[in-house]
Structure 1
Amino acid sequence: MNSLGKTELLVSPLGFGGIVVMNSRAGQAARIVEEAVEFGINYFDVAPAYGNAEEKLGPALEPFRKDIFLSCKTHLRDAAGARDALGKSLKHLRTDYFDLYQLHGLVDVEKDVKVAFSAGGAMEVVLEAKRAGLIRNIGFSAHTSEAALAAMNEYDFDTVMYPV
């Protein structure tokens, strides 16, 4: 197990990308998740952008929820959209909290980072949700170094997901 970012939480060296169950057949997601847990994977990552993966993973993860680390994301940058997305994700995944919630796919400093951190931006909702106990840790994923650096200058995130 490895410590995840600044969280000091222990997660498996390999994570489960929820996109793999998108459009899977009935029961297939449950079998895949069960096998992953048997192999020691406890980090599960999903996002609304992954088609129906949340709906497939919700029932599959439910029996293991207290033993896994569940991460979700939003690609929406405005507060209203982010609030709606968070509520739907919690419902689809049959959980009352996320261990990690991330701003998904930051690319452009102006369109992504500045909008998310502006008044009425997604970060307002993320911070409210953390105070309410719906989110335990906050992170982001980025696809440009400019966006990653700009986001890190705005908030002291618990995790950063960046392709190398």
Structure 2
Amino acid sequence: MERRLFIKQAAMTAAAASAASSMHASNKTPSQPIAKRALGKTGEKLSMIGFGGIVVMNETEGASSNIVAEAVDRGINYFDVAPSYGNAQERLGPALAPYRKNVFLACKTEGRTKDESRKQLEESLRLLKTDHVDLYQFHALTKMKELDQVLGPGGAMETMEAAKREGKIRFIGFSVHSAETAVAALERYPFDTILFPVNWVLFSQASFGPQILKKAQEKGVGILALKAMAKTMWPEGQKKDHPEPKCWYQPAAFPDEASLGLRWTLGHPITAAIPPGDEKYFRLAMDVAQHYKPLEAHEEQALLSGGKGLEPIFKLGNDV
């Protein structure tokens, strides 16, 4: 996107979001804890903001412990990590240990076979210094052939169900970047949760997400949201050299547009949203959640106007 267009759109959202900006700038650590919402039919209640493991990736042990402690103090009880997040499991495990019995820990596997997923599960439990995870998810189910594989003979679902019987996992879910695969997965197996992008640009510019949300609600599945603060793809020349090393997409402008985007997502029937891995966006998300108010009509109009013509980070039809 051209710089002048970006500046114009950022100005529009900033004007509409002045209230959101003062909301989180006035008080760094408000006394009101982050509210919790029910997670589908599981009986669990999770903080409306989740702690993504990328926040502690490549951080020191001390820094990791500090940000985890701050998150818990502010009401966060939902933590999510994956083996593909660099050294995030190594950092999160020790930092989370003092609070483990009081938090909901989600992890993922990229393994599509029984053996691959079992190996990843055991390694994750070791690194996270725990005897179980509360939610174990198939990571980034995108292709229909992957769904066929995990649900077929010798597939990773065999590990999931066995691990549940063993007490090593409590709930089974999946994350997904394909609307078609998401809907098919929800039809074919009684998953406990789904983790997928709920984002204003994707909904308005790509029609990506509404069909997943509808199907998940029909099935009573716990809905967890990704990419609330995402905006578009990095320009071609910046894809490998951009100012957000923990964010492969271009996030919404900080802080006003990002605040609006998160509030837009939280206004949908979801349990929780996981913000970008950059610490400043995560802290902004906690600020917004502690003062959360649904978007007003003029704020939503400004946000959606700023998304017109942007390249969505995901599109329909990417399930082949």
Question: TM-score per shorter chain, which class?
Answer: over 0.9
Matching residue of 2:234: none
Q: CA deviation at 1:5?
A: 2.2
Matching residue within 134, 137, 158 for 2:171: 137
Matching residue of 1:151: 185
Is residue 84 from structure 1 mapped to residue 119 from structure 2 by the alignment? Answer: yes
Matching residue within 139, 142, 155 for 1:121: 155
Supply the distance in 2 between the matched residues of 1:20 and 1:81 (Cα, whole angstroms).
26
User: Where does structure 1 differ by over 2 angstroms across 4 or more consecutive aligned residues?
Assistant: none
Supply the distance in 2 between the matched residues of 1:4 and 1:18 (Cα, whole angstroms).
20
Q: Return 5+ residue gaps in structure 1 as ranges.
A: none
Matching residue of 2:93: 58
Matching residue of 1:28: 63
Supply the distance in 2 between the matched residues of 1:135 and 1:154 (Cα, whole angstroms).
21
Give yes or no for contact 2:37–2:47 (8 Å, CA) kept in 1.
yes
Supply the distance in 1 between the matched residues of 2:184 and 2:163 (Cα, whole angstroms).
22
Q: Return 5+ residue gaps in structure 2 as ranges.
A: 1-35, 199-320
TM-score (norm 1): 0.97
**Identity level (%):** 53
TM-score (norm 2): 0.50
Is residue 46 from structure 1 mapped to residue 81 from structure 2 by the alignment? Answer: yes
Give yes or no for contact 1:98–1:136 (8 Å, CA) kept in 2.
yes
For 1:136, what is the secondary structure of its paired residue? Answer: strand
Aligned residues: CA RMSD: 0.8
Supply the distance in 2 between the matched residues of 1:26 and 1:135 (Cα, whole angstroms).
26
Q: Which one-letter code corresponds to 1:162 in the other structure?
A: F
Matching residue within 42, 51, 59 for 1:7: 42
Matching residue within 174, 196, 218 for 1:162: 196
Supply the distance in 2 between the matched residues of 1:73 and 1:6 (Cα, whole angstroms).
20
Give yes or no for contact 2:61–2:95 (8 Å, CA) kept in 1.
no
Matching residue of 1:109: 144
Matching residue of 2:263: none
**Which has the larger Rg?**
2
For 1:49, what is the secondary structure of its paired residue? Answer: coil
Supply the distance in 1 between the matched residues of 2:188 and 2:89 (Cα, whole angstroms).
29
Supply the distance in 2 between the matched residues of 1:145 and 1:127 (Cα, whole angstroms).
25
Matching residue of 1:98: 133
Q: How many residues align?
A: 163
Q: Which one-letter code corresponds to 1:120 in the other structure?
A: G
Question: Which deviations, in whole Å up to 9, do the C-alpha atoms of 1:103-145 show, x marking residues without a partner?
Answer: 11010001x1011111111100001000111110111111111
